Amino acid sequence: MSTDEETMSPQPEPAEAPASASGVSHAPVSRAIYGLITVLAVLQVLEIETPSAWHATVVLFGTTVAVALVDAYSESIAEMLAERHWLTWNDLRAIGRNVTPVLVGAQGPTVILLLSALGLLSVGLAISLAQVVAFALLFGFGWRVGQLLHEHWLRQLASALFLVAIGGLGLGIKVIFH
């Protein structure tokens, strides 16, 4: 066996990412937020360059899946380099669980665009509603973060609004440079 084969031999399953003091792992939260920001960016482009309803639906969901696949690929490379072994089925399942939150934010907006593809909404209205849903999900994540970090409702609200503002800032930068 060569040196490369020895260092890349299967190893036991890696430990799950440790949760924080609050019991919440940071990876799913950050990936879900990242997925929502990606959805908002795609929706912004669709609003400017409005395609057919089916095309918009496929572009939104396809982009989100592509981002999740790139995330899975980069995580698998990092895992192999860090642990110096080929990925096991358990590693692949863990990576799949880890990147799933990227897709979570795309579900609501994709369903709304699908309603447009079925002729129940105009494409423009569907894109606008999908943006509202994505911002509402960001608000919900921000509110939950606020609940975990703060006892007072005003600070919880500020946390939610801050996350929505970050999403809006990302869109604003995209609009300015488009």
Positions of E strands within 69-161: none
Q: Whats the size of the chain, residue-wise?
A: 178
Decide: 145 and 33 in contact? Cβ < 8 Å. Answer: no
**Model pTM score:** 0.75
Residue 112: pLDDT over 60: yes
48-95 residue pLDDT tens:
888 999 999 999 999 999 999 999 999 899 988 988 888 889 988 988
Residue 17: enclosing H or E segment and its boundaries? none
Residue 36 pLDDT exceeds 70: yes
End-to-end CA distance of the chain: 54
Please give the structure tokens belonging to residue 7.
């260092």
